[in-house]
Amino acid sequence: MDCKAADVVCVPCADYEPARVRAALEELIDRAGGLAWVCPGMRIGIKANLVAAMTPDRAATTHPTLISALAAILRERGAVPVVGDSPGGLYNASFLNRVYAASGMEETGAELNRSFSTCPVDLPGGRVCKTATVTGWLLECDAIINFAKLKSHGMMGLSAAAKNLFGTVPGTMKPEYHFRFPDPADFAGMLVDLDEFWKPRLSIVDAVTAMEGNGPTAGSPKRVGCLLAGQNPHRIDLVCARLIGLDPGTVPTLREAMERNLCPRKLEELEIDGPWMDFISEGFAIITERNGLQFQNLMGGGRRGALFSKFLSRSIAARPVVDQTTCVGCRKCEQVCPARAITIRRGKPAVDRRACIRCFCCQEFCPKGAMRVRRPSLARILEH
């Protein structure tokens, strides 16, 4: 970095008009420390959020105008920007070409990753995950810029800078990770381990238009109007959580980052450069249903308390529920379910609650937004 920058930088960006985007991005990067580390010939991987073959107006993917502007800035410094991601599903050219085309990446002028190698790596500093298989293209890059999208998320509550690097796990292997880490806290630990492994030189969050509601793919666009950047993805996420009215303590990756001292517990302890408070989004629809409750203290803690908590937490846990009116019976949820907990009966999915590991992949990949995260009424009553 050129100079000591704040933990998080926030710059207004009202829309995706190209000249406005370019000016906002230049200011953001400059105030976040600059690009003096970029050398001619350097291959820089831009890890975008390309969660599905969806058009930019759906607000599920990093906007192509931003990617285009970043690629141009890097090229002007003699670097070679390469854009890529591995969403859930196949990790091959025909699958990714559809995603690139729909998300507008083909018009960005950046090289799009078409190398689909995967590679086992050790995560020496990993606390939850010591080994992983990752997409090879980023290992071949000299540096990484993590370019995320601000969204609500069924399993993690928030999809922003930290969650974005799960796209470095090949799509075909994601179900295995849900099985290895079925508990949201462990899953978050794995994500933080991945973030620490990749250590992007810069993380940027596209919060110009975010996704609220049934995210990360079936929510609605919501204008927030800014860009955020910094070196530490968790610190950016702490601001993102505040922008959308999410209690940081309910975001598993933030909790994990706080426990590892990667992120302060309070927003006031962050150094934030820019008018971020102007972009707090009133009424942003978040997914509160997924939050768990802890009951150990009801039984005086200890082993009995832990067993009781497990039993009660399981019986009142959030689960995927099908909206029968919007479901079109396409079977996508059945295909993506890593636990094979979904069967189609009379043309509609039925979820086996005992087999379900609550990864919410079905909710993420339902093309109609018909799969929703729901908590039993007993859970709501107990919480009150």
Q: How many CB atoms lie within 10 A of CB 220?
A: 15
Give the bridge partners for 46, in sequence order: 83, 145
Query: Which one of 110-118, 268-276, 297-305, 348-356 is the stretch in contact with ligand SF4 (CB under 6 A)?
Result: 348-356
Binding residues for ligand SF4 restricted to 20-79, rule: CB under 6 A: none
Residue 102 to residue 146: CA distance in whole angstroms:
20
- Residue 53 structure tokens: 């073959």
Least CB distance to ligand SF4 at residue 99 (A): 18
Question: What binding mask, one character per residue, do residues 136-155 give for ligand SF4 by CB under 6 A, x or -?
Answer: --------------------
Of the candidates 66, 238, 243, 337, which one interacts with ligand SF4 according to CB under 6 A? 337
160-168, 239-247, 257-265, 352-360 -> range binding ligand SF4 (CB under 6 A): 352-360
Which one, 14 or 328, has the nearer CB to ligand SF4?
A: 328
362 lines the binding site for ligand SF4 (CB under 6 A): yes
Closest contact distance (angstroms) between CB of 166 and ligand SF4 is 15
Q: How far is the CB of 339 from ligand SF4 (least distance, A)?
A: 4
H or E segment to which residue 12 belongs:
strand 8-12
CB of 366 to ligand SF4, least distance (A): 3
8 A C-beta contact, residue 37 and residue 20: no
b/e for 81-90, b at 16 or more Cβ within 10 A?
Answer: bbbbbbbbbe
Segment lying near ligand SF4 (by CB under 6 A), choices 48-56, 134-142, 204-212, 341-349: 341-349
Q: Nearest distance from residue 186's CB to ligand SF4, in Å?
A: 15
Q: In this structure, which amino acid lies at residue 249?
A: G
- Cβ closest to ligand SF4, residue 92 vs residue 326: 326
Phi, psi of 307 (to 5 degrees): -65, -40
d(CA 101, CA 355): 36
- 6 backbone dihedrals φ, ψ, rounded to 5°: -65, 165
Binding test (CB under 6 A) with ligand SF4, winner from 149, 255, 332, 375: 332
Q: Which DSSP state fits 244?
A: T
Report the C-alpha gap between 179 and 331 in whole angstroms. Answer: 21
Q: Does 357 bind ligand SF4 (CB under 6 A)?
A: yes
Q: Which is nearer to ligand SF4, 182 or 225 (CB)?
A: 182
Other beta carbons within 10 angstroms of residue 369's beta carbon come to 17
Residue 228 binding ligand SF4, by CB under 6 A: no
Q: How far is the CB of 92 from ligand SF4 (least distance, A)?
A: 22
Q: In the bound complex, what is the minimum distance in angstroms from residue 361's beta carbon to ligand SF4?
A: 4
Give the contacts of 193 (CB within 8 A, at least 6 positions apart): 123, 125, 126, 127, 128, 129, 132
Residue choice 299, 327, 374, 376 for contact with ligand SF4 (CB under 6 A): 327
Q: Is position 374 an interface residue for ligand SF4 (rule: CB under 6 A)?
A: no
Q: Does 320 bind ligand SF4 (CB under 6 A)?
A: yes
Side-chain-facing half-sphere of 171: CA atoms under 13 Å: 20
The DSSP code for 305 is H
Q: Of 47 and 358, which has the nearer Cβ to ligand SF4?
A: 358
The residue range among 109-117, 246-254, 287-295, 319-327 that interacts with ligand SF4, by the rule CB under 6 A, is 319-327
Q: Does 339 bind ligand SF4 (CB under 6 A)?
A: yes
Count of chain residues binding ligand SF4 (CB under 6 A): 26
Alpha carbon dihedral 15, 19, 21, 23, in 10-degree steps, equals -130
Secondary structure of 76-90 in the HEC alphabet?
Answer: HCCCEEEEECCCCCC
Contact 228, 204 (CB under 8 A): yes
The residues with which 119 forms a beta bridge, in sequence order, are: 134
Asked if 218 touches ligand SF4 (CB under 6 A), the answer is no
Residue 329 in contact with ligand SF4, rule: CB under 6 A: yes
Binding site for ligand SF4 (CB under 6 A): 320, 322, 327-333, 337, 339, 341-342, 349, 351, 356-362, 366, 368, 370-371
